[in-house]
Amino acid sequence: MALLLRSAAADPVPHATFAAPFASFDPKTGMRRMDGWRTAGRARVFMGSVRLTEPQPGDTGAAWTKLPADLGGNGGNDAFSFDTRFRMSGLNHREAGESLAWLVVNDATPTVLSDGDAAAAAADFFGVTARFQGLAVVLTAEHADAAGDALKDAQKIALYANNGGLEPEELGSCLKPLYYDEARDDFQPSLYSTLRLSYDKGRVILQVDPRNTQNWSTCVSSGRLPSIIPPKADAWRRHAAAGIVARTGAKQSRFEVMAFNLYTEALEAAEATSPDWEGPPDRALMIAHQLEHSLFEVKQAIEAMLGRVEKRAADDQWRIVELEARLSDAALGLVEGRLDEIEERLTKVSQPLVDARVMQVEARAKYRLGAFTKETAATGRGWVRPFAVILALLALFAWYTHREFVAMNKWNSNYM
Distance from C-alpha of 302 to C-alpha of 299, rounded to nearest angstrom: 5
Confirm if 189 and 212 have CB atoms less than 8 A apart: no
The DSSP secondary-structure symbol of 233 reads -
Asked if residue 149 has pLDDT above 60, the reply is: no
**Domain-ending residue, one of 233, 258, 278:** 278
For residue 293, the model assigns a pLDDT of 59
φ, ψ of residue 178 in degrees (nearest 5): -115, -10
HSE toward the beta carbon, residue 197, CA cutoff 13 A:
28
Q: Are residues 323 and 219 in the same domain?
A: no
Helices (H) and strands (E) in the chain, counts: 5, 20
The mean pLDDT of 346-370, rounded to a whole number, is 80
Distance from C-alpha of 153 to C-alpha of 178, rounded to nearest angstrom: 8
15 conformational bin, left if phi > 0, alpha if psi -120 to 50, beta if neither: left
Q: Are residues 298 and 369 in the same domain?
A: yes
**Domain-ending residue, one of 246, 261, 278:** 278
Q: Are residues 246 and 369 in the same domain?
A: no
What pLDDT band is residue 301 in, cutting at 50, 70 and 90?
Answer: low
The mean pLDDT of 213-222, rounded to a whole number, is 93
- Find all residues with CB under 8 Å of 190, minimum gap 6, and list them: 276, 277, 286, 289
What pLDDT band is residue 280 in, cutting at 50, 70 and 90?
Answer: very low
Distance from C-alpha of 411 to C-alpha of 12, rounded to nearest angstrom: 161
What pLDDT band is residue 278 in, cutting at 50, 70 and 90?
Answer: very low
Q: Of 121-125, 275-279, 332-336, 340-344, which range is least confident?
A: 275-279
Q: How many other β-carbons are positioned within 10 Å of the β-carbon of residue 10?
A: 14
How confident is the model over 319-339, as pLDDT tens digits? 888 888 888 887 788 888 888
How confident is the model over 60-116, as pLDDT tens digits? 999 999 887 678 655 567 889 999 999 999 887 677 778 999 999 987 656 766 555
Q: Which of 120, 134, 211, 223 is nearest to 171 (CA)?
A: 223
Q: Are residues 91 and 56 in the same domain?
A: yes
Q: How many other β-carbons are positioned within 10 Å of the β-carbon of residue 39?
A: 19
Q: Are residues 355 and 398 in the same domain?
A: no
Distance from C-alpha of 43 to C-alpha of 60, rounded to nearest angstrom: 8
DSSP string, 121-157: GGGEETTEES--EEEEEEEES-SGGGGSSTTTT-EEE
What pLDDT band is residue 299 in, cutting at 50, 70 and 90?
Answer: low
Q: Are residues 286 and 167 in the same domain?
A: no
Q: Are residues 264 and 289 in the same domain?
A: no
Range of the domain at 272: 2-278
- Residue 306, SS3? helix
| End-to-end Cα separation, the chain, in angstroms | 178
Q: Return the beta strands (E) in 24-176 as ranges.
A: 24-25, 32-33, 38-41, 44-45, 50-53, 60-66, 79-90, 99-106, 124-125, 128-129, 133-140, 155-163, 169-176
Q: How many other β-carbons are positioned within 10 Å of the β-carbon of residue 151?
A: 16
Q: Which of 20, 12, 77, 8 is nearest to 256 (CA)?
A: 20
Q: Are residues 259 and 184 in the same domain?
A: yes
- Residue 162, SS3? strand
φ, ψ of residue 15 in degrees (nearest 5): 65, 0
Greatest Cα-to-Cα distance within the chain, rounded to the nearest angstrom: 182
Q: Which of 139, 234, 241 is nearest to 192 (CA)?
A: 139
Q: Which of 40, 141, 153 is nearest to 98 (CA)?
A: 141
- Count how many residues are written for the chain: 416
The DSSP secondary-structure symbol of 271 reads G
What pLDDT band is residue 355 in, cutting at 50, 70 and 90?
Answer: confident
How confident is the model over 382-401, as pLDDT tens digits? 666 777 778 888 888 888 88
Could you tell me which residue, 42 or 147, shows the higher pLDDT?
42
Q: Are residues 13 and 107 in the same domain?
A: yes
The DSSP secondary-structure symbol of 74 reads T
The mean pLDDT of 31-56, rounded to a whole number, is 92
Q: Are residues 21 and 149 in the same domain?
A: yes
Confirm if 52 and 255 have CB atoms less than 8 A apart: yes
Q: Are residues 262 and 347 in the same domain?
A: no
**Domain-ending residue, one of 236, 256, 278:** 278
Count of structural domains, the chain: 3
Q: Are residues 200 and 105 in the same domain?
A: yes
- Find all residues with CB under 8 Å of 284, minimum gap 6, and list them: none
Rounded to the nearest angstrom, the gap between the alpha carbon of residue 313 and the centroid of all alpha carbons in its chain is 22
CATH of the domain at 174: 2.60.120.200
